[in-house]
Amino acid sequence: MADSSAETKRTYRRGKIRDQNLERILGAAREEFVLKGFAGASIQAIADRAGLPKANVHYYFKTKSNLYVAVLEEIIILWNDHFDELRAEDNPAEVLDRFIRRKVELSYTHPQSSKLFAMEIIQGAPHLRDYLRNDLRPWMRKKAAVIEAWVAAGKMAPVDPYHLIFLIWSSTQHYADFEAQVLTILNRAEYERSMIDRIADFLSRSILAGVGLEAPR
């Protein structure tokens, strides 16, 4: 065959190429699924975007559905990493402020993930039923208890903790999910750091004031 001596400049460690390809495919799939929806995104288009032949995508993910679920699971992991921001520390204002800012930041750094998650929920969450019931609901229950404790201790105005969290979720994720609308209205091409900071300031101040707290700093 061909000379095979000094051409091993690339280290063919098992798993390295695999991880790289998986990453490429998952990234490409995320984009395509957001842009075209599940049915509208073709494996061919995903493969093209990833720079791989179509059959290779099928090698890593047996079916389109599997690939879609894998993308969603990646998102869930990302979401869960930010789950425990809301702890029963001493100062509600600080905790809520930090929670809101993390959410805004996440919308800024991972807009595609937020969008795909939103689309899945809008369509009735056919692939996330179990996640919602078995993971998200228990988490909410715990966090609601924390907020209720704050209310009981007179540390903040009496509010329904569930709706407070819905308010935080919706208002923060809005800037990722409705990016096209927000940017058009504000006549901007894309988000900038300064705009994101102002959004976080505004939301933190408004929401905290809404529950009788003053934003820190």
Partner DNA sequence: TAAAAACCTGTCCAGTTGGCCAGTTTTTTG
Partner DNA sequence: CAAAAAACTGGCCAACTGGACAGGTTTTTA
Give residue 125's Cα distance to chain centre. Answer: 15
Can you read off the two tokens belonging to residue 124?
């009735």
Radius of gyration of the chain (CA): 21
> Closest CB to DNA among 18 and 141?
18
Quick one: what does residue 133 bind among a copy of itself, DNA, none, with the CB cut-off 5 to 8 Å set by partner type?
A: a copy of itself
Closest distance of CB 127 from DNA, Å: 14
Residue 182 within binding range of DNA, rule CB under 7 A: no
Q: Choose one: 21-29, 30-38, 58-66, 146-154; the region binding a copy of itself (CB under 8 A).
A: 30-38
Residue 53 within binding range of DNA, rule CB under 7 A: yes
Which residues inside 3-22 make contact with DNA, applying CB under 7 A?
8-15, 17-18, 21
Closest distance of CB 60 from DNA, Å: 7
Beta carbons of 89 and 156 less than 8 angstroms apart: no
Q: Locate tokens 């994720």: which residue?
A: 173
Which residues inside 136-155 make contact with a copy of itself, applying CB under 8 A?
136-137, 140
Which residues inside 119-138 make contact with a copy of itself, applying CB under 8 A?
119, 121-125, 129, 132-133, 136-137
Q: HEC states along 77-145?
A: HHHHHCHHHCCCCCCHHHHHHHHHHHHHHHHHHCHHHHHHHHHHHHCCCCCCHHHHHHHHHHHHHHHHH
Residue 69 within binding range of DNA, rule CB under 7 A: no
